[in-house]
Every structure is written in structure tokens, then in C-alpha cells.
Structure 1
Amino acid sequence: MTAFPGPSGVPPVVGIVGSQGAFGRWMARFFREQMGVQVIGHDPAGDSALSIRELVLQADVLVFSAPIRHTVAIIDEYVAAAAGDEAGKLWLDLTSIKQQPVAAMLHSRAEVAGLHPMTAPPKIDTLAGRTMAVCRARLDRWAPWLAHLLAKLQADCVDIDPLAHDRAMALVQGLVHASHMAQAAVLRELAPAAGGLPALHALRTIGHDLDLTVTGRILSGNPAIYEDIQFGNPHVLPMLERLADAVALLRAQVAEGGDGARTVVRERFLQQPAAWFGNDALAARSHGFERMGYLQADLQGARYLSVYLPQDRPGSLRALLAVFERLGINLASIHSSRTPDGELHFRIGLETLPVALATLREAVESDGLGRVVDARDDAG
């Protein structure tokens, strides 16, 4: 692989501050494998082969990948350690807020851009299918190299001002997380009397299932990340105050009851927001909701086969589907997803099964075509 050169005409050395963190490790692998550049790093959690000063001097590109609560202090420490020797280099950060980290990097003499990948470290080698905010704060000679980096990442990049980014994140992240954390607290208190999660799941709606999926994702993650998004973004508190006011108004109207209270709820929480969304956006969201419902129904089907194709090449899926055609098996659905280890699995829902499940499994696994990782026929 021929690495893309930096302003000096040679591939840059990339330094990662927080090289032992989840995103630091992902970025280090990306830079090495997808961009072909040398990567060095420093992390208080265990990577101390280089001192801060040595990292600053050796790295042409410095990437800050640290927890929100520590990022600004860390950047300030690197500015002091660099003492002007960072001039002509590029500093980047990957923080979920942008205004304060970008401002801190601008105290240096380096060129500066703030990045926010809107995802946890993915199981694939790029950010394809994900969104990334890009704050181009001070760029000149490094602009072509940054453009190459963004192209290689394959994210849907959105250029935005740091202040506008943080205001948006109070709603995109802060509001969503706060709502689901509050739901989780209420569920913990009230769900046991209703039979617990199993009883609720048995009576699930699409909306409940989707909400619980988001809640479960948050609760299974690193608590520090969700804490920092609430406490580290100054625009979250005003949002929470508006949210609290809205819930308080809804509570008051429900407690009051009567036609007047119903009118307030209908106008304030349904009609006025619907008019603000607009018909086109509402139609698109409603259609998306229905699609998720069909997806959930497919994934909960009682007759299916889940297959991993070890030969990742054109024609592999076609060869797999030919097995079903040969055995006279109609497919109800087919979906792909990745395991925590990054393997791409195909979950194939089956309408009928005219042969024994063991026969189908043997046919799929013959000649090394695929590996059946799960199979079930509970449809009676």
C-alpha cells in the first residue's frame, strides 16, 4: 500500500493520545491497515513507551481520543509540552463535544480540525454507513491529507461549526440518552409489579421493543460515556429543563383530567409538533417505523437458519441461495448482521421446510460453502 503523503511529501507519522481506549485502538488499526502509515501513541492506561514531549515531536498528526471530562486538560498539557514545536503539524480530536476541545487545540500552533464519529467503534474496517461531524477550525497545508483521511474513513461527513455541533448534540445525544435513562429508572421501579421484562415483552408493541432496544444499548455501554455527554455539554442542561417542563405539563394535565386537559395535551404534544415536523417528514418516519416492525417480525420468526460465509467473494451468497432452491425451500426473509467479532452472518427465515433441518444444514456446509451458526424450526 502506498501511503498518501503529508505536506512534506512523505507519509506522516500518526500519534494517538488515548491509544489504549476503544476508539484509540480502532483508529490505530485503521491508520495502519487502511492508510499504511506508522502509528505511535501514549495512554495513561498502559502505553507509556513515549513521553508526552516525545510523542509531540515524533508525530506529524496528533489525534486526541480521550474521555470528554479529560480532553481539554489533556490538550492543554500537550500544548504546554509542545512549546511551539507543533507548528506545521496537524492536531485532531474525536470527542463527542467540539467547542471546548477545538478551542483548546487552537491554543497550539498546529493546524486543527475536530472530528466526532457518531458511533461506537464499528466492527468493520471503516465508518461506512455512519455519520461523522467535521469541524475545520484551522487548515492550510494539511487540508488535502485530511480530505484523504475522510475519504478513506467512508463516513457520511457533515461540516459544522463547533458551537452548532454541541447545540445539536444536546438533542441528538443528550435528549435521547436522558429520555431512555429516565425510562430505565421507571422500568426498574414499576415493571416488577407488572410481571417484569418477560411479561412486558410478551405484550410488546413495535414502539416498546424499539425503545427497549435503545435503552438496553445504553445500559450495556460504558457509563462514563453517557455521564460525560450529560455533564460535559453545556447545552444539555437547558434541554433537560425544557424536557422537565414538558413532562411536568403532561403530568399536570393527566392529573387534572377532563376535556380541557385533553385539548391541551392534543395541541401541545401532538398537533403542534406534527405541524412542525411537516407531512413529508412524518410520512417518512412512519414508513421507517413500519419497516422496523417488519424487521422485528422477521428476526423473531421461529423457523430460520443463520449462516456465516467464510469465502467473502462475489457469488458466495448466490451459491448459498442455490442450495435452498435445489431443496425446494421458500425463503421468508434474509437479513445480514455482524457479530461482536465482526463476522457477517446471514439470517434466513424459512416459509416451509420440506426436508429435515439436519439435511438442510448438511447441504449448506458441504464443500465449505458456509458454516451454520444457528438453526431452528419451532414453527410446528
Structure 2
Amino acid sequence: MTAPGLRRCVVVGGSGAVGGMFLELLRPTADELCSVDTAAPRSGEASKATTWLTADITSLNPGGEAARRIAAADLVLLAVPEPVARAAAGPLTALMRPGAVLVDTLSVKSHLIAELAGCPGRTEQVSINPMFAPSLGIAGRTVAAVVLREGPGVTAFLALIEEWGGRLLMLGPDEHDRITAVTQALTHAAVLGFGFALCEAPVDIGQLTAAAPPPHATLLSLLARMAGGAPEVYWDIQAANPHAAQARDGLAKALRQLADLVADGQERDMASAFARIRGFLGPELTQYQMRCERAFAALQAPPTQCDSPAPSDS
């Protein structure tokens, strides 16, 4: 069944992982589906029921097929890096028809929102952030959403996310960036800092693999997953989020506090620190302990030939 008002859909960046995921999700519900990208279709995609166009959305030919598709679209979804999205904001909103829905999938909201505020047009606008790697699928996963300009098309698109099995988390723009500064920028900084330290340690990966207790093996697994991802994604999260520097400073301060605590030789201070952490986790403490047990159990199983690395979470 076609979502009300979302019959003609354009995904900009359909050759990428995020854009490809939304092409797959939209294919059963859209009457017309088009991908616009500077890159060629991914292997095996060109034969599917999608129109594939090669074009640069920051400098569209006004008489070209890509511009015509965007002008006629009910939904235009941007699955592109932030610099491209910001550069395209003006041309796209000027081209799109009134009432059409513009969606972006950026990890940081504040800069694009400021760009859109000065753009022409009367599009409906919603900014989403899938909080998972596309390879994991949307079912049961969180999709953060910031409504910029509401309307029936935005409502229909958010309803589609829920029909696909996504769990919507509605946020304000600054609220989104503050939360992702912790959930993404701080988390990635901790894992990358661990990796940077390993590179300077007088050990090799074979020794670590043989000796690693479950917590260390878990961190190695997180590091390996991130190392297999796109560096530009992690750069954008660290550099573009206006609250990321504060998150990194907090991490550096916490490491200094730990060093000072041990240097002072006061074991009771460590007990107080643990009590503070348990207090922060509050009612979630037990469920995260159980999740850790399950993760450690999974680490004991050797990988099979069916296992393959997935693109990293953003």
C-alpha cells in the first residue's frame, strides 16, 4: 500500500549504504522510485525497479532528468555527507514543489537546519538519524527524528518508519545534537582512544587475542568494527557536532581523574566512584549487566564462514 501523498520518491545518494537501505524500504510502497547519485549503482542494483540517474545535486541541470524528477517528487531523501546536503539545500528547496517532503539523514542537525532556515520554498521538512548500521536493518532499531516543518507528508513518512519496524525517538534540534555528542562522539572517542593507545603499546595483536579477557575482547571487537568503516563518517561526527568537543574534554578529564585517584592511593575513592556510576545507571543497571553477559557469551563462540564484517554504526 502506498503511503498517503508519497507516491513519487527520490533518494539522493542511493549508491551508499544509508541511501540503499531507504531505496529498499521505499520500493514496495512507492509508485515511482529514483536514485540520484554521482556514483554508479551498487552491484546488482541497476536491474531493480528503480530509475538510476547520475547527477550532482549541488549543480543540477535545470532541464535535466534529475531536476525534473526532484521537481515532481512527493519525497526527496538526502543520504549524503553534510557538506553536500548543505550545498544542495537551497537548490533543492527552490526546485521542489510546495508540500513535498524533504528528509535528511545527517548525524548532526544544527548546521543544515540553519542552512534550511534561509532557503526558499514551502517544503515540509524532517531530519532523521538512523542510530544503527544499515546492514543491521531498521526493524527494532531507533530512528531519531527532528520535525522542522510539519505537514501531512511528514506525518506519513514518520508513520512509514514505524511500519518498517523502526522505533521513533522525537527530539528537538539541539537536544538531538547534545544526545548524539554522548552516544556517538563520546563513544567513538573512547574506542578510538583505546585504539590509539594500543598502537603505542609494546604488544602485538596475536598476544592480545590469546590473552584477552571478555572486556578487552569486546573493546577489540568495537575497534575492529569502527576501523572497517568510513573514516569520513567518524570525522563528521567528531568535527561537525557543536557539542562533541565538550564530550571529548569530559573523557580526557575523566581519565585524568582516574589517574589521580590511583596516584593518591585511596582505595575508598574508587569505591565511591563505582557507587556514583551505579547511581547514574539507576534502574537500567541490571538490564545492562544482563546484556553484557550475553555479549560475553557470544564472544566465546568462534566466528563461522557465514560471519562477515558489517559497515560500522555512525
- Partners of 1:18 and 1:65 within 8 A in 2: yes
**2: distance between equivalents of 1:339 and 1:217?**
11
**2: distance between equivalents of 1:144 and 1:102?**
19
1:155-166 matched pairs, under 5 angstroms: 155-166=166-177
1:121 aligns with 2:134: yes
**2: distance between equivalents of 1:265 and 1:77?**
56
- What is the Cα deviation at residue 144 of structure 1? 4.5
Query: What is the alpha-carbon root mean square deviation over aligned residues?
Result: 2.5
Return the letter of the residue paired with 1:233.
N
1:168 aligns with 2:187: no
1:1-380 matched pairs, under 5 angstroms: 2-6=1-5, 12-32=7-27, 34-46=28-40, 47-48=53-54, 50=64, 53-79=67-93, 81-82=94-95, 85-106=96-117, 107=119, 108-122=121-135, 126-190=137-201, 193-194=202-203, 196-254=204-262, 256-259=263-266, 262-267=267-272, 269-278=273-282, 280-297=283-300, 299-300=301-302
Return the letter of the residue paired with 1:45.
A
How many equivalent residue pairs? 288
SS at match of 2:134: coil
Return the letter of the residue paired with 1:152.
E
SS at match of 1:230: helix
Check 1:198–1:110 CA distance in 2 against 1; reply closer, same or farther (3 A cut). Answer: same
Greater gyration radius: 1
**2: distance between equivalents of 1:102 and 1:153?**
26
Q: Which runs of 5+ in 2 are unaligned?
A: 41-52, 56-63
Q: Which runs of 5+ in 1 are unaligned?
A: 308-336, 342-380
Residue identity (%): 24
Check 1:340–1:209 CA distance in 2 against 1; reply closer, same or farther (3 A cut). Answer: closer
TM (normalized to structure 2)? 0.82
- What is the Cα deviation at residue 57 of structure 1? 0.9
Check 1:105–1:37 CA distance in 2 against 1; reply closer, same or farther (3 A cut). Answer: farther
- What is the Cα deviation at residue 152 of structure 1? 3.1
- What is the Cα deviation at residue 338 of structure 1? 6.8
- Partners of 2:8 and 2:31 within 8 A in 1: yes
**2: distance between equivalents of 1:77 and 1:30?**
26
Deviations 1:127-146 (A, max 9, x none): 10211112222222314422
Which residue does 2:48 correspond to in 1? none
**2: distance between equivalents of 1:245 and 1:151?**
40
TM (normalized to structure 1)? 0.69
- What is the Cα deviation at residue 204 of structure 1? 1.6
